[in-house]
Amino acid sequence: MHSTPPQTLINLVSRLVSRLELGEAASKVLATLILSEFPLSQTEIVHLTGYSLSQVSSALSLLVSVGLVSFVKAGRKKLYFSDKGIDELLGEIARKMIEKDLKPLARELEKFPKEREKIQSLMDECNQAIEKLQETFLLDTLKNMRSMNAKTNR
């Protein structure tokens, strides 16, 4: 078996991915696949996540159906992987937040024309915060992964 990502990192990425509202098991499975260097079998995912085979199977079916996970066949086994990076997921989370929370807020606030300038300012600040979050999280994640790889390779 190849090197696996540490549970703490899986849990952190899982918490982030949970904002996609896929459910706890699917979030942890996706986080595991994002952080894995190689495609994983269902059995390996069961081992890494602690979920049952049926939970992992259901989570993988969902993730494949929404296009976040793909698989290749290796003999009779399917090996699963995610070709989505953290940056793409952060973008998707940001889009969901904009659609679910910010756009309805903006529509409601537009009923108050005197506040239009303030609304635009708030939307601009939100967009800047989202961009900064993406950049910061990516850099921190890459640093942590390099640090862990360096420790593993010693």
Q: Is the pTM of this model over 0.75?
A: no
Q: Using CA of residue 12, residue 17, residue 22, residue 25, what is the dihedral sign?
A: negative
- C-beta of residue 51 within 8 angstroms of C-beta of residue 25: yes
The topology (CATH level 3) of 7-81 is Arc Repressor Mutant, subunit A (1.10.10)
Q: 78 near 71, Cβ under 8 Å?
A: yes
Segment 75-112, tens digit of pLDDT: 999 999 998 877 787 778 777 877 787 778 777 777 87
pLDDT for position 98: 77
Cα–Cα distance measured from residue 15 to residue 17, given in angstroms and rounded to the nearest whole number: 6
Cα–Cα distance list, 113 to 22, 101, 106, 119, 124 (Å): 37, 20, 11, 10, 17
pLDDT at 144: 65
- pLDDT-based confidence at 152, cuts 50/70/90? low
pLDDT at residue 80, rounded to an integer: 98
